[in-house]
A and B are shown apart, each in its own frame.
Chain A
Amino acid sequence: MKKKLISLILAGAMALSLAACGGSAGGSSETTTAAGNAAGGSAESSGDTLKIGLYNPLSGANAAYGTELRDAALLALDYINEQGGFNGVKGEMIVYDTQGSVEEAVKVASKLINEDKVTIAIGPMNSSEMFASGASLNDAGVYTLGCGTSPTWMQEDWPYVFRAAVNNGVTPPLIIDMMKELGYTSMAGFYGQDDASLATYESFKKLCEEAGIEVKDSESYDQGDTDYSAQVANIVNSGADCVYISVNGETGPVIVKQLRQYGYDGIIFDKESFMTAQVAIAGADNSSYVAFANPYVTYNTVEEIDFDNMKDFCQRFKDKYGKMPQTDSAYRGWDAMLVLWEASKIAGSNEPDALKDATHKISGLEGLGGPIDFTPGDREAYHDVRKFVLDNGLNVEWTKWVAENYDGFLSATGREK
């Protein structure tokens, strides 16, 4: 009896563990209807619906980001279906969990192509997963909207693959402009060894050298590291005018927190927006004076949003999921679905070739990060990116902050610049 009880407890614990893993090794799938109800099991379509494959990390370290992207995409699907769907055809979403693993992403992309026979896919927000799985989708002629922000995978010749999110490669020149605006002549950098962080940092460092900004120190970390104190001490000791971080997800706020704890009170430029979830980790005080160039910022309340379409989206998200989006992944999911819808309207068809050609004609579409314009032909949505700085927990537009608050920052920190 005792042994049976122990076995039962262990079996329960194992089931708990597997549930947290998000599925079997073969990749768990959910098929969602127009109402967006997720259910495990078969990924078959009724035949009267347009099947859209979405694969993203729904478990593991980036699950919070991937889950918000999926939720926003499902919200958009509901909205589009309410408006009549894609050329009169209701959309149906087949969701797979990549578990944050490149190998799993390749596996589920192959499943979407060969078993589910989708012709449209929404790719993961992890660039490394997109980079590994993009070629098979492109070669199979699947119209794909990737959601990762690294420049690397979009440099591939994949005509069926587009991006409805920001390309981090466009932000470094804007950050350089921000530094020059404040008269900074030196900086110290902190970067991750992952694909997106490393590529962006390399590009940024090169631009610094071209702009005459001295790179006084460059520090890196490995995925899984916890303690950054030695790197932070070097950065603080370098005496650079400012710090630039090109890091991954939730590592950013931990580094920001450690920089502040080691006495650095200057401006920290981030390769991506510093979101609500990150401010919660670093603390509002430590997050002040983190600046970035990015189309997306997150908000604490609907009321504080200035942009009508963002206000509308956040209200919908809050009504359905009971909370504000904590990460910009939600915006990427919504924007990807909007681009797909717009392309289907222009094409008058849901066939991947027609969607591909039509996407190049999209211009002036109001995305959550500003105007979306695919007409330059680079398969990128955003070309004009906003600049912000966090001050007392609020995202303040950069130019306005420099004009109104920069002197206050200097006197509060005792810095010369």
Chain B
Amino acid sequence: MFFTLLISGLVIGSIYGLIALGYSMIYKSSGLLSFMQGDIMTLGAFLGITFYSYAGLPFPVALLLVVLISIALGFAIEKGVIRPLLNKNTMAIYIVLATIAVSYIVQNGSMLVWGTITLNFPSIFGISTIKVGNISFQPEALMCIVVGFFCMFLLQIFMNKTRIGTSMRAASMDAMAAESCGIDVSLSTGLSWGLSAGLAAIAGMLIGPIYGVYTTLGATIGRKGFSSAVIGGYGNMYGAIVGGILLGLVETFGTSYVSSTYRNLIAYVLLLIFLLLKPTGIFNEKAIRS
């Protein structure tokens, strides 16, 4: 029972972490908040089922296509919606509202294209369950955990050790100074929004076979991904995954040992505790204005 819950908590925690990585990346590179990660995740799952199940493409090819399309979409949203607002010196709150509007458009657009009935995403590995002793779990569950941690390390290296990542961080700290140093701020923020969308799409492809695919799949996960980012330290890549894992474990063990009725209560009380007692999150990311 303990190990079953542990695996479950790690799986859902990894998904929260992947969504949180996107939130953190956008914040780290542009200093902005986005609320569309959950719905981009849903779109990724729908595109995944289309390429993998309906078009019959091999899973790696379908995954690559979905990620590329999502990156292009994220980039286009930054260029078509966010950048024009930034150029008008719009207050940050209006940019947040714009991302909420985009999330509804993505959600309802998906409804229009794929309908409202939940779709069955076939198993990636051809077998639905792996049994180890008394514990049963899906192979996709293990993949969620591995991919979550892999993305975390990759992004942390990308943001801190590569030229583009450094440009992104510089653009977020002082756009004017970054531009005077020859950094293409517009390109680097566009890339960060694109990569965030790509991460969300990966999460969608991973959980599709576990939960099925439907239009509101990303609604709750998106909110909890945001909570994970705050818990880990908003803007910190390690914090995103660790926050996600912590939230996933607390939620899963709390549901099992306390009560399933209070599942969401437990999750959001944890968020409030961090906001009130440790707003910098587990990884001490700067959260209070100096």
Report the Cα distance A20→B115, complex, angstroms: 9
Task: Report yes or no: B220 in contact with A17, Cβ–Cβ below 8 A.
Answer: no
Closest residue on chain A to residue B98 by CB atoms: A10
Report the Cα distance A220→B217, complex, angstroms: 18
Chain B: minimal CB distance from A250 (Å): 4
Known A-B contacts A20-B108, A224-B220, A225-B263; the reply to A230 vs B118 at CB < 8 A is no
Closest residue on chain A to residue B120 by CB atoms: A281
Closest residue on chain A to residue B116 by CB atoms: A63
* Per-residue A-contact encoding for B106-133, CB less than 8 Å = 1, 0 else: 0011011001111110000000110100
Known A-B contacts A227-B8, A230-B255, A281-B119; the reply to A250 vs B214 at CB < 8 A is yes
List the A side residues contacting B254 at CB < 8 Å.
Answer: 230
Task: Report yes or no: A263 in contact with B220, Cβ–Cβ below 8 A.
Answer: no
Task: Report yes or no: B108 in contact with A261, Cβ–Cβ below 8 A.
Answer: no
Task: Report yes or no: B1 in contact with A277, Cβ–Cβ below 8 A.
Answer: no
Stretch at the interface among A231-239, A370-378, A384-392: A231-239
List the A side residues contacting B290 at CB < 8 Å.
Answer: none
Task: Report yes or no: B221 in contact with A226, Cβ–Cβ below 8 A.
Answer: yes
* Per-residue B-contact encoding for A131-164, CB less than 8 Å = 1, 0 else: 0000000000000000000000000000000000
Report the Cα distance A244→B118, complex, angstroms: 22
Task: Report yes or no: A280 in contact with B8, Cβ–Cβ below 8 A.
Answer: no
Known A-B contacts A6-B84, A227-B12, A261-B129; the reply to A221 vs B260 at CB < 8 A is yes
Task: Report yes or no: B116 in contact with A64, Cβ–Cβ below 8 A.
Answer: yes
Interface core residue of B134, B136, B253 (most chain A CB under 10 Å): B136
- The yes or no answer to A399 lying at the interface (CB within 8 A) is no
Chain A: minimal CB distance from B252 (Å): 5
- The yes or no answer to A19 lying at the interface (CB within 8 A) is yes
Task: Report yes or no: A229 in contact with B80, Cβ–Cβ below 8 A.
Answer: no
Task: Report yes or no: A277 in contact with B109, Cβ–Cβ below 8 A.
Answer: no
Task: Report yes or no: A17 in contact with B108, Cβ–Cβ below 8 A.
Answer: yes
Known A-B contacts A20-B108, A224-B216, A230-B5; the reply to A6 vs B128 at CB < 8 A is no
* Per-residue B-contact encoding for A1-40, CB less than 8 Å = 1, 0 else: 0010010011001101111110000000000000000000
* Per-residue A-contact encoding for B1-30, CB less than 8 Å = 1, 0 else: 100110011011000000000000000000
* Per-residue B-contact encoding for A39-61, CB less than 8 Å = 1, 0 else: 00000000000000000000111
List the A side residues contacting B68 at CB < 8 Å.
Answer: none
* Per-residue B-contact encoding for A251-295, CB less than 8 Å = 1, 0 else: 001100110111100000000000001001111011000000000
Report the Cα distance A310→B82, complex, angstroms: 54
Report the Cα distance A281→B116, complex, angstroms: 12
Report the Cα distance A236→B260, complex, angstroms: 15
Known A-B contacts A17-B108, A61-B215, A237-B1; the reply to A229 vs B117 at CB < 8 A is no
Task: Report yes or no: A19 in contact with B120, Cβ–Cβ below 8 A.
Answer: no
Task: Report yes or no: A263 in contact with B108, Cβ–Cβ below 8 A.
Answer: no
Q: Number of contacting residues on A, CB 8 A?
A: 51
- The yes or no answer to A195 lying at the interface (CB within 8 A) is no
Chain B positions 183-236 with a Cβ under 8 Å from a chain A Cβ: 207, 210-212, 214-217, 219-221
Report the Cα distance A236→B263, complex, angstroms: 19
Task: Report yes or no: A19 in contact with B112, Cβ–Cβ below 8 A.
Answer: yes
List the B side residues contacting A227 at CB < 8 Å.
Answer: 8, 12, 211, 252
Task: Report yes or no: A233 in contact with B8, Cβ–Cβ below 8 A.
Answer: yes
List the B side residues contacting A116 at CB < 8 Å.
Answer: none
Report the Cα distance A147→B219, complex, angstroms: 29
Closest residue on chain A to residue B213 by CB atoms: A281
List the A side residues contacting B1 at CB < 8 Å.
Answer: 233, 237
Closest residue on chain A to residue B84 by CB atoms: A6
Task: Report yes or no: A226 in contact with B211, Cβ–Cβ below 8 A.
Answer: yes
Chain A positions 277-326 with a Cβ under 8 Å from a chain B Cβ: 277, 280-283, 285-286, 326
Known A-B contacts A6-B80, A17-B109; the reply to A225 vs B220 at CB < 8 A is yes
- The yes or no answer to B264 lying at the interface (CB within 8 A) is yes
Report the Cα distance A263→B3, complex, angstroms: 14
List the A side residues contacting B50 at CB < 8 Å.
Answer: none
Interface residue from B120, B128, B219 paired with A261 (Cβ < 8 Å): B128
Report the Cα distance A237→B228, complex, angstroms: 29
Report the Cα distance A226→B45, complex, angstroms: 14
Known A-B contacts A225-B263, A263-B129, A263-B136; the reply to A16 vs B8 at CB < 8 A is no
Task: Report yes or no: B217 in contact with A226, Cβ–Cβ below 8 A.
Answer: yes
Report the Cα distance A61→B42, complex, angstroms: 14
- The yes or no answer to B104 lying at the interface (CB within 8 A) is yes
Task: Report yes or no: B109 in contact with A220, Cβ–Cβ below 8 A.
Answer: no
List the A side residues contacting B131 at CB < 8 Å.
Answer: 263
Interface residue from B117, B251, B253 paired with A250 (Cβ < 8 Å): B117
- The yes or no answer to B166 lying at the interface (CB within 8 A) is no
List the A side residues contacting B117 at CB < 8 Å.
Answer: 64, 250, 277, 280-281, 326
Q: Write the residues of chain B forming the contact surface with A, with a CB cutoff of 8 angstroms.
A: 1, 4-5, 8-9, 11-12, 80-81, 84, 101, 104-105, 108-109, 111-112, 115-120, 128-129, 131, 134, 136-138, 207, 210-212, 214-217, 219-221, 251-256, 260-261, 263-264
Closest 7 CB pairs of A and B: A20-B108, A229-B8, A263-B136, A230-B255, A63-B116, A17-B108, A20-B112
16 residue pairs of the A-B complex, CB under 8 angstroms, read: A14-B105, A17-B109, A20-B109, A219-B260, A221-B263, A225-B263, A229-B12, A229-B252, A230-B9, A230-B252, A231-B255, A254-B118, A254-B212, A262-B4, A282-B120, A283-B128
13 more contacts with CB within 8 A, not counting A220-B260, A230-B5, are A13-B105, A16-B105, A226-B221, A230-B8, A230-B263, A231-B256, A253-B118, A254-B118, A258-B210, A261-B137, A263-B131, A263-B134, A280-B120
